[in-house]
Amino acid sequence: MKMSVDQYHRDQVPERIFESGDSHSGMRSLHKATLSLYTDLSLDGVLRRITVAARELSNAKYAALGIPNEKGGLDFFITDGMSEKEMQRIPHLPVGKGLIGEMIKWGDSIRIPEISDHPKAIGFPPGHPKMHSFLGIPISAYGRPLGQIYLTDKQDAPCFTENDQRLIEMLAGHAAAAIENARLYRQVIKNEAELTQRNEELELIHDLTSALSGSIRLEGLLGEMLERVIALFSAQSGDIFIVEEGGDQFNLVVHRGQEDLTIWERKGFRIGEGFIGAVARLGDVAWKNDLEDEAEYLQESVLEAGYGTLIGVPLISRGQVVGVLSLTFLGARIVSEREVGLLEAVGAGVGLGIENARLIRQARRLAVLEERERIGMDLHDGIIQSIYAIGLTLDSIRLLIRENPDEAVTHLEKAIDGLNANIRDIRSYILDLQPSQFKGKGFAQGLSRLSQEFKANSRMEVDLRIEPEVISDLEGDGCEALLLIAQEALANVAKHSKATKVWLSARNMDERIYMQIIDNGQGFELDQETELLGHGLSNMAQRARRIGGEFETVSSPGEGTTITVRLKANSNSKES
């Protein structure tokens, strides 16, 4: 006979009240069970202990505990009392309907002698054991539902008693606290995992900013760094603006993200102008969730696409804002204190990289100026003084030419020799070479002398290896050009590489002569070679091409440099 839900709550089955001894025994069992709940901080472990404790306290054959989700279903469903075979026969777990759905909906306890008589009962799926008596107790904390305990088939009586209900309701109170503690612990573990992940990501950002600190090739490295930050914060796009040296204009230098074009209508902002200028003036991380008042500075498509948040990060070096990094997000976004700290660290690292790149460029420009000044002083003290002396000699020749023609000729020849010597010295300064030292020397002898002089002057270790076949296959201008290239390369190693060892080799392979100069120094970025080494690399490349050879430079920061010259054997091409 079926009953309505209201009738069921009115016509409760009369229950016997436990005798005093049984009540005390139940309380002792409850106390023991609740203590066990706090021995395990994992959520799965706590739910399992609650389920087992509820079955043992009520003497039920089966017990289960369900944790509902926001959709009305169950996130967790823990059972006790069923064998593995019984569990395998059940096609699916409960889906939050029937009596379980009723408890989730109303949050009240339900105690009935026969499940099938309840008006909300929907039966059991195929393979599920038949169950009869039922006791369902909600678990809640501060009026917030946390889960439900389900008990079926009282073992020593036809149905569950009021005392069973009171015991399980008291257990549910302790279970609520245990579940809350377990959830807090789970959240702590999750937070620690997230913090570890963030630290790893921060380390990655640190690696990128470290790369920036040793490079003058900013744009590519800034782009790589910006891509990492966009991924880290799940942004849609990002931009980097850098202030002009000596000015107050922040110009766009890098854009990355889902959009091909930057969100900004203009490519530059002055301090205080728009969001970028405001961040530059403020000098702190800032964000804006209403982009309407920024509309004049944004592309029209930005607001139409649903972009709702801007984050601005000042790039700071030595207390000065040298740039601004901006991130763009769809919809509104809240920035946590932890994220602010991370963005500040990124801003400081990138700002330092920008400033360092500028200092490197200034230092190199200063080095060029100092080198020019040194050459000018050398020319003044050496060549110019020699030319002045030759001028005096020519003046004396003018006086001698009639009185003593023979002596005048002798002085004239010396003047001509002096002029030729000065011409050679001037050419030497122009190319930073001293070609006279190779006159009359073969390739092996010249290369050996170069390595000895380099080792003595630089105090670097030199490993020289020359195959005998190279000596016989190399002659004429090819020999001289290779020696000049080797000299220029060694000069660059001494000036720029900070190396401790150089490998100098020449070998013959496949009817081609290979000469290599390898150092273990600091290396450099190839697209900055002109700034790094002046005209040295281009001079060497031109010399190689003039004799029909090939010139190759391989280098990267921290990896040293390898210069390779390939030349056909018996090359006699003339230099122009």
Q: Is the Cβ–Cβ distance between 35 and 29 less than 8 Å?
A: no
pLDDT at residue 16, rounded to an integer: 38
- For residue 385 the two structure tokens come to 């003084």
Tell me which of 477 and 48 has the higher pLDDT.
Answer: 48
> 288 and 367, same structural domain?
no
pLDDT at residue 325, rounded to an integer: 95
Within a domain: residue 472? Answer: yes
User: What is the rounded CA–CA span in Å between residue 546 and residue 565?
Assistant: 12
- Residue 504: exposure state from Cβ atoms within 10 A (0-12, 13-18, ≥19): buried
pLDDT (mean) for 537-557: 88
Q: Which domain holds residue 395?
A: 363-431
pLDDT (mean) for 398-419: 84
Residue 550 has pLDDT above 70, yes or no: yes
Digit-coded pLDDT (tens) for 214-236: 555 677 778 888 888 888 888 99
Within a domain: residue 199? Answer: no
Tell me the HSE value of 558 on the side-chain side, using a 13 A CA sphere. Answer: 5
pLDDT at residue 265, rounded to an integer: 85
pLDDT (mean) for 57-74: 81
Digit-coded pLDDT (tens) for 416-461: 888 887 776 676 565 454 444 455 567 888 888 888 877 876 778 9
> 164 and 36, same structural domain?
yes
> 253 and 131, same structural domain?
no
- For residue 69 the two structure tokens come to 């989700």
pLDDT at residue 189, rounded to an integer: 80
CA angle 43, 48, 54 (to 5 degrees): 125
Range in 152-156, 291-295, 471-475 the model is least confident about: 471-475
Strand ranges inside 100-143, DSSP E: 110-112, 134-141
pLDDT at residue 85, rounded to an integer: 82
Instruction: Give the CATH number for residue 412.
Output: 1.20.5
101 three-state secondary structure: helix
Looking at 403, 431, 459, which one is the last position of a domain? 431
Contacts of 176 (CB under 8 A, 6+ apart): 139, 140, 141, 146
Within a domain: residue 356? Answer: no
Tell me which of 356 and 528 has the higher pLDDT.
Answer: 356
Tell me which of 248 and 458 has the higher pLDDT.
Answer: 248
Range in 180-194, 218-232, 359-373 the model is least confident about: 359-373
> 419 and 481, same structural domain?
no
Instruction: Give the CATH number for residue 261.
Output: 3.30.450.40
Q: Is the Cβ–Cβ distance between 477 and 513 less than 8 Å?
A: no
> 561 and 532, same structural domain?
yes
Tell me which of 71 and 397 has the higher pLDDT.
Answer: 397
Within a domain: residue 193? Answer: no
Within a domain: residue 357? Answer: no
pLDDT (mean) for 24-40: 63
> What is the phi/psi pair of residue 68, to 5°?
-75, 160
Within a domain: residue 240? Answer: yes
User: What is the rounded CA–CA span in Å between residue 36 and residue 30?
Assistant: 10
pLDDT at residue 116, rounded to an integer: 81
pLDDT at residue 575, rounded to an integer: 43
> 562 and 497, same structural domain?
yes
pLDDT at residue 95, rounded to an integer: 65
> 259 and 405, same structural domain?
no
Within a domain: residue 384? Answer: yes
> 157 and 19, same structural domain?
yes
> What is the phi/psi pair of residue 88, to 5°?
-70, -25
Tell me which of 101 and 516 has the higher pLDDT.
Answer: 516
Range in 62-71, 151-160, 553-562 the model is least confident about: 62-71
Q: Quick one: pLDDT band at residue 463, thresholds 50, 70, 90?
A: very high
Running DSSP on this structure, what letter comes out for residue 117?
Answer: G
> 413 and 461, same structural domain?
no
pLDDT at residue 576, rounded to an integer: 38
pLDDT at residue 105, rounded to an integer: 74
Count of structural domains, the chain: 4
- For residue 132 the two structure tokens come to 């009869």
pLDDT (mean) for 123-129: 76
Question: Please, where are the H alpha helices in 59-115?
Answer: 84-89, 98-106
Question: Please, where are the H alpha helices in 38-161?
Answer: 43-58, 84-89, 98-106
Q: What is the pTM of this model?
A: 0.43
Tell me which of 93 and 282 has the higher pLDDT.
Answer: 282
Q: Quick one: pLDDT band at residue 250, thresholds 50, 70, 90?
A: very high
pLDDT (mean) for 255-260: 79
> 522 and 467, same structural domain?
yes
User: What is the rounded CA–CA span in Å between residue 450 and residue 437?
Assistant: 10
Instruction: Give the CATH number for residue 516.
Output: 3.30.565.10
Looking at 290, 319, 351, which one is the last position of a domain? 351
> 170 and 68, same structural domain?
yes
Contacts of 6 (CB under 8 A, 6+ apart): none
> 158 and 53, same structural domain?
yes
Mean pLDDT of the chain: 78
Looking at 431, 458, 477, which one is the last position of a domain? 431
pLDDT at residue 312, rounded to an integer: 94
Residue 281 has pLDDT above 90, yes or no: yes
pLDDT (mean) for 73-102: 76
Residue 272 has pLDDT above 50, yes or no: yes
162-213 helix and 337-378 helix, angle to the nearest 10 degrees? 10
Within a domain: residue 574? Answer: no
pLDDT at residue 471, rounded to an integer: 67
313 three-state secondary structure: strand
